[in-house]
Structure 1
Amino acid sequence: MQTPHSGYHWNGIDRDFFEGWYFRVTLPKIRGSFAFMYSIEDPLGERERSGGAVQMLGIDEQYLTHSFPDVNKFWPAKNDLGLGHWGETKLATSPQLLSVAEFDRQITAGYQVTATLHQGSLPAQNCRWCYHTMPIYGWGQPQQPQQATAGLLSYLPIFEPGWQILMAHGLATGWIEWRGQRYDFNNAPAYSEKNWGRSFPQKWFWVNCNSFDDTVGLAITAGGGRRKVLWTTEEVGMIGIHYRDRFYEFVPWNSQISWQIQPWGEWKIQARNLDFQVELIGTTAAPGTMVSTPTENGLVMCCRDTLKGLLSIDLRTHQGTQIIKASSNNAGLEVGGDGWDIAWLK
């Protein structure tokens, strides 16, 4: 189940570096979600912006953020998914993965996360969480070696930034205390991904959902961006669909992909390959919530998100045989970067 790029990417030398992780749990019964965004910037600790940050979107898309300025209290795993950042603690040991009970006793503020455990505490924001996750889909065909989201070239340092879906779908069980109210859940849809490099793309969009009204086990992630590739830029997009133990992949090296993304409120993405054709339509009437993303000048609020988007999918063969037709009102929809005064058509 482990995907490529699950481990930490920093080479120990480059100070112009960030790595970021995104984790989401959806609670369909209340049409609510929690999104956790972790980042570390300039790990050498030599700049004013060096350090870590936690951002969260919670119920009704309320936003909070907390900084962890000491880079020496951040720990990452190099070969698999694992990271954490300690804030207030009396422990004199080096930062590392702790048992759930020891973390609860010793770490007043901080977080730790692996592929199966996610725990944290932000007392200043009256927020705590602890849940375990059972991965269902990574990124690729189930029961086969998992794939790099950006393909084989992602192993070379040519894309800016790197991007990897870590877990397209999983089931989370535990609890989250959000500003005084506790939310217990059992087998709630969960998702995770990551980015790394020097900054986010110049412009991008993102669509994600793994909680559909009448279709169990369907997970979709789509995105596109204007990214740096060595000395130039390119516009690329992709759609990945996991359903009934099969992975449908639409990427630049095997498909034709087009999109019509409004500055806010509507996402339309189409793709076709030798065997299938798909259309995604996402909409929202909500204003969205601004969050920060890494740039060459540090974290900047240049990204608008909603976790309550409407999303429909129509996947069929070229002969017209329908494979999936489903909808959800629990989709994550996002636009970010510069140049959103007009629609982005490709």
Structure 2
Amino acid sequence: MLNPQQTPHSEYHWDGSDIRFFEGWYFRVTLPNCGQTFAFMYSIDDPIGGKPCSGGAAQILGPDDEYFCRTFPQVDQFWSSASSLGLGHWGKTTLKIPPQQLHPAKFEAHIQEGYQATATLNQGIIYDPASQAYCRWQYQLQPIYGWGDAGTPQQATAGWLSYLPIFEPGWQILMAHGLATGWIDWHGQLYRFTDAPAYGEKNWGNSFPKKWFWLNCNSFEQESDLALTAGGGRRKVLWWEESVALVGIHYQGKFYEFVPWNSQVNWQIQPWGSWQMQASNDEYEVELTGTTNLPGTPLRAPTQQGLIFVCRDTMRGRLTLELRERSSNKSTTLLKASSSVCGLEIGGGPWQEPWNSRCGKPLVPISL
């Protein structure tokens, strides 16, 4: 059954060519009862095979920002759907068939290492024989918001130009907010959950941006129907580079979008510890502040040199959000919210100095 919240770009983007290519997917579930988060990051590099970077990986950022990763060198054991969100990679298996989506019970019975994921399922197992550390997971997903107003066709995160091969890399929020039900076995500790906040996004192209930052949260104190994704980067556009950023908020069925073509977006990002953004358009304005005293955890991301450590994350950031409605002579607060389980990230570089910049169209100021 087609997911009514399916966004553009949910399908696999590789065209079969031998040019440098990666595609990566991010599935995250937050467990409010214990304040922990699991982020699953799947990727495939140079799927044509035979290249220095060819291969796949599954990374997990688990409780207390602990990191776990396993690689899948055989690109012919990877599969992905050309029409919808669906992917998987098999490592050890007793099956003698081409890799494909399996019923969860069949996957559990026959796949000793690997994963599979769709818009409604995330399942897998990875194991490190040296340390005997492992993670097993299986949970169902109920998408609530894709990227756009509820009940309307969902939007491309980078706008209609994203359908043309001019942005590097592509970025699409797949599920701004959803509910996850199932279990995760993390090194022998079993986490069971029902209707836990879940999120999904993806990237594809030649490599990640030269430099970027990201804030993401859909588990707020006193607000169960609120989701935020914000970020920015220095990306390639044909033969030049540009710095761009956006803020997207889903709240009570409505999508508040602050993007360069309809808003002015400002940001002040420290090398680590503080993320501040302000964005305004003709109707609304938003202020975000993310902070952490934690050191964060290095993660791998696709680059020209392959999948290497090039970013730093925490899933235990503090976040404050204020959304206001603008009118000719005043600004009215619509929403104030906070969280202690916000995802915060910086990547690429250089990050020796704070990154203070802006993009988009200037707006006429109003008196508060």
Q: TM exceeds 0.5?
A: yes
Shift of 1:216: 1.4
User: Is 1:30 aligned with 2:41?
Assistant: no
How far the C-alpha of 1:49 sits from its partner, in A, is 2.1
Cα distance in 1 between the residues matched to 2:167 and 2:159: 11
User: Paired residue for 1:5, among 1, 5, 9?
Assistant: 9
Shift of 1:242: 0.1
Q: Letter of the aligned partner of 1:182 in structure 2?
A: L
The letter for the 2-side match of 1:5 is H
Secondary structure (helix, strand or coil) at the match of 2:207 reads coil
How far off its partner does 1:90 sit?
1.6
- Number of residues of Structure 1 aligned to a counterpart in Structure 2: 346
Tell me, in whole angstroms, the C-alpha distance in 1 between the residues paired with 2:307 and 2:163: 25
Q: Using the alignment, how far apart are the partners of 2:231 and 2:285 within structure 1?
A: 16
Q: Which residue of 2 aligns with 1:45?
A: 49
Please give the alpha-carbon distance, in whole angstroms, between the structure 1 residues aligned to 2:185 and 2:52.
32
Q: Is the 8 A contact 1:28 1:211 kept in 2?
A: yes
Aligned to 1:338: 349
- The Cα offsets for residues 220-255 of structure 1, whole Å up to 9 and x where unpaired, read as 000000000000000000000000000000000000
Output aligned runs, 1:176-255, within 5 Å: 176-255=184-263
In 2: Cα distance, 1:207 partner to 1:222 partner: 5
Query: Partner letter of residue 332 of structure 1?
Result: G
Specify the code of the residue in structure 2 equivalent to 1:341: Q
Contact 2:70 2:127 in 1 (8 A): no
Whole-Å separation in 2 of the counterparts to 1:271 and 1:46: 45
- Selected match of 2:20 from 16, 22, 29: 16
Query: 1:322 and 2:330 equivalent?
Result: no
Whichever residue aligns with residue 335 of structure 1, its letter is I
Which range moved further: 123-132 or 287-296? Answer: 123-132
Percent of residue pairs identical: 61
Matched to 1:245, the amino acid is G
Q: Is this contact kept in 2: 1:32–1:60, CA < 8 A?
A: yes
The 4+ residue runs of structure 1 with deviation greater than 3 A are none
- Per the alignment, residue 363 of structure 2 pairs with none
Q: Are the aligned partners of 1:18 and 1:39 in contact in 2 as well (CA < 8 Å)?
A: yes
Q: Assess if the C-alpha contact under 8 Å between 2:181 and 2:194 holds in 1.
A: yes
> Any residues of structure 2 matched to 1:78-89 within 5 Å, and which?
78-89=82-93
> What SS does the aligned partner of 1:104 have?
helix
Q: Residues 97-246 of structure 1 correspond to what in structure 2 (within 5 A)?
A: 97-124=101-128, 125-246=133-254
- Counterpart-to-counterpart distance in 1, 2:192 and 2:317: 23
Residue pair 1:15, 1:43 contacting (<8 A) in 2 also? no
Instruction: Report the AA paired with residue 309 of structure 1.
Output: G
Cα distance in 2 between the residues matched to 1:57 and 1:106: 25
**Amino acid corresponding to residue 123 of structure 1 in structure 2:** Y
Q: Which amino acid aligns with 1:15?
A: I
Q: Deviations over 1:88-113 (max 9, x none)?
A: 01211110000011001110000000
1:288 corresponds to = 296
Asked whether 1:268 is paired with 2:276, we answer yes
Tell me whether 1:278 sits opposite 2:286 in the alignment: yes
Question: How many angstroms apart in 2 are the aligned matches of 1:215 and 1:126?
Answer: 34
Q: Distance in 2 between matches of 1:275 and 1:73?
A: 49
Distance 1:53 1:150 in 2: 26
Secondary structure at the counterpart of residue 219 of structure 2 = coil
TM-score, with structure 1 as normaliser = 0.99
* Cα displacement (A) at 1:128: 0.2
TM-score normalised per structure 2: 0.93
What is the letter of the counterpart of residue 37 of structure 2? S
Query: Contact 1:208–1:221 (CA<8 Å) still a contact in 2?
Result: yes
Gaps of 5+ in 1: none
1:148-205 deviations in Å (ceiling 9; x for gaps): 0000000001000000000000000000000110000000000000000000000000
Give the distance between the partners of 1:332 and 1:21, measured in 2 at CA.
16
